[in-house]
Chains A and B, each alone.
Chain A
């Protein structure tokens, strides 16, 4: 039987051996690191990069330096324009680049344009497949969030720089590069509460209004620049009642030349204009009692339904099965027929927000038909802080356009992954081995 001393001696020899092994491991790791530093690995057949938290940039940088013959990007979202252009440049420089995605990259698109309304609002249209939430923001921060993507339209009264729409698999950006100048609106009607409050609503909303309001035969209350009804003078014409009959022919010509007309109440019956209207004028229906003060105030208004809308009419609003507002394009112009009469009751007797809502509703009616040609803004000297020029309105489409459709990774080709991990592993192994060896020596009393 071995003595304790013998056993202790044996243990010490094993321990010394282990220490030597650890030292050898550390030295080997250091040597491997030194060798890797001096001799970079040769490019392999396929380099794969994955877009992760750090983005594609490190991989793209490596590809640029390494110049692999083939590269494949695994994307979890549509890349930003800079990365996309970088990949496309690599493809054009000789590297066969392909891409794929572990999940479906939904199509998306966003576009912005000025709305023909006072104060220069911007209308943003967004289409995002996939059903994921989409957040809309600009250089000033988050504006709104759409819970389920889809197709949406937003109106923003102020925009700073580029507008961005971000979803789970994309970030699209756009900017409004056009401007438009709005001409006044001409209102024709008989003196009464409807003409008074319609004009008031438009003026309070910021529109410039010209008007002819009949008080007595050959007696009118006029306002603003009055002249021939022409697209060079007016952005839109609103006919509130039969008092516009004397101008019906001029209105029809105006529409055909590109003007916009709103026919309110029973004004769609006016001779030459009736052929342009979205439909006939039905028998007046009374409003629902008390609804004016509710959340659906127009339910409480009397309405002349749009009877038998024409085939090319677009229905904009209904009450049950009855069409209350419809619009139609006629030659170069547009005609909107709103059957509501006495909308002033909404403003007077509606809820707390009735005044604002009434103004905005009338403004939208006019805006829907207003003649306001777009003018491209000069790009120089008009760049916003984050660069209006850098937009990416349809990321997925642009990606496919640049790199072609997605293609699965070719498993026959050998692949390499990012080798910075090996460097980290070697370093950690060297450090751990040295520390363990030193600890063991100290614990047994050796120096």
Chain B
């Protein structure tokens, strides 16, 4: 018996952690479409300050508002990263001058470690599908929303050669924030990179 993968969304005190409620279902849908992995049909929400965090070795965190971790959240995150957990953070504002990005980078640096650019040749980009050019761009980037930039790299904090924090400025929360049934309208499935992130977390 293989325990199923549960997509967990992080709940933190300071901001709108629930700003992308459809992302879990969409990514669960994608994982089920492309892989035979055992996956739970619904996502879970887990508070960063709770012991329940350690039941989900991959956790998704997003929002628009400033991120300020409490001491309990910080301590938990540090232990979580040391044990082998991975945090996938996405700036829902898509704004590197915005409050979410500035505060999240600071808080993650304090809690876990400094964020640095992840090379586009990293194993993450070939963990399942191939992304030779690095992280795929989002329509929000291409539309000029937020900071009007197309970010060519993701940021990451490492423990040795392992990614413990994957940080995105590309607003995947908006890109993937739709009901999975609407996928049929897309000529290209824009959630494949999410599958890479999940498969990377489960296999590397």
In the complex, chain B residues whose CB is within 8 Å of the CB of A137: none
Contact residues on A (Cβ < 8 Å of other chain), bracket: 20 to 34
The answer to whether A348 and B84 have CB atoms under 8 Å apart is yes
CA gap between A217 and B128 in the complex, in Å: 13
CA gap between A193 and B202 in the complex, in Å: 6
The answer to whether B54 and A216 have CB atoms under 8 Å apart is no
User: Which stretch, B30-38, B103-111, B181-189, touches the partner chain A?
Assistant: B30-38
Is A192 in contact with chain B by the CB < 8 A criterion?
yes
Residue among A195, A196, A355 with max Cβ neighbours from chain B (10 Å): A196
Main DSSP-derived SS at the A contact region = mixed
CA gap between A195 and B83 in the complex, in Å: 15
CA gap between A284 and B3 in the complex, in Å: 13
Shortest Cβ distance from B3 into chain A, in angstroms?
5
The answer to whether A348 and B55 have CB atoms under 8 Å apart is yes
The answer to whether B37 and A192 have CB atoms under 8 Å apart is yes
Contact with B along A267-303 (1 / 0, CB 8 A): 0000000000000000010000000000000000000
User: Which stretch, A84-92, A174-182, A339-347, touches the partner chain B?
Assistant: A339-347
In the complex, chain B residues whose CB is within 8 Å of the CB of A192: 2-5, 37-38, 202
Q: A342-B3, A347-B84, A348-B84 are in contact. Are A216 and B202 (CB under 8 A)?
A: no
The answer to whether A219 and B1 have CB atoms under 8 Å apart is no
Cβ-defined partner of B35 (8 Å) among A195, A215, A266, A284:
A215
Contact with A along B15-34 (1 / 0, CB 8 A): 00000000000000000001
In the complex, chain B residues whose CB is within 8 Å of the CB of A230: none
Contact with A along B25-67 (1 / 0, CB 8 A): 0000000001111100000000000010011010000000000
The answer to whether A197 and B203 have CB atoms under 8 Å apart is no
In the complex, chain A residues whose CB is within 8 Å of the CB of B203: 191, 195-196, 213, 215, 221
In the complex, chain A residues whose CB is within 8 Å of the CB of B37: 190-192, 215-216
The answer to whether A216 and B83 have CB atoms under 8 Å apart is no
Shortest Cβ distance from A87 into chain B, in angstroms?
60
In the complex, chain B residues whose CB is within 8 Å of the CB of A215: 35-37, 128, 199, 203
Q: A200-B84, A215-B128 are in contact. Are A349 and B35 (CB under 8 A)?
A: no
Closest to A189 in B: B2
CA gap between A406 and B201 in the complex, in Å: 68
A324-363 CB contacts (< 8 Å) to partner B? 341-342, 344-345, 347-349, 354-355
Is A194 in contact with chain B by the CB < 8 A criterion?
yes
The answer to whether B51 and A349 have CB atoms under 8 Å apart is yes
Closest to B1 in A: A266
Is A80 in contact with chain B by the CB < 8 A criterion?
no
Closest to A290 in B: B51
Shortest Cβ distance from A319 into chain B, in angstroms?
18
The answer to whether B1 and A241 have CB atoms under 8 Å apart is yes
In the complex, chain A residues whose CB is within 8 Å of the CB of B34: 216
Is B85 in contact with chain A by the CB < 8 A criterion?
yes
CA gap between A190 and B37 in the complex, in Å: 8
Is A265 in contact with chain B by the CB < 8 A criterion?
yes
Cβ-defined partner of B85 (8 Å) among A190, A240, A241, A348:
A348
Is A214 in contact with chain B by the CB < 8 A criterion?
yes
In the complex, chain B residues whose CB is within 8 Å of the CB of A217: 36
The answer to whether B83 and A348 have CB atoms under 8 Å apart is yes
Residue among A189, A190, A284 with max Cβ neighbours from chain B (10 Å): A190
The answer to whether A216 and B36 have CB atoms under 8 Å apart is yes
In the complex, chain A residues whose CB is within 8 Å of the CB of B83: 347-348, 354-355
21 A-B pairs with CB atoms under 8 Å apart are A190-B36, A191-B199, A192-B2, A192-B37, A213-B203, A215-B37, A215-B128, A215-B203, A216-B34, A216-B35, A216-B36, A221-B203, A284-B1, A341-B1, A341-B3, A344-B57, A348-B80, A348-B83, A348-B85, A349-B54, A354-B83
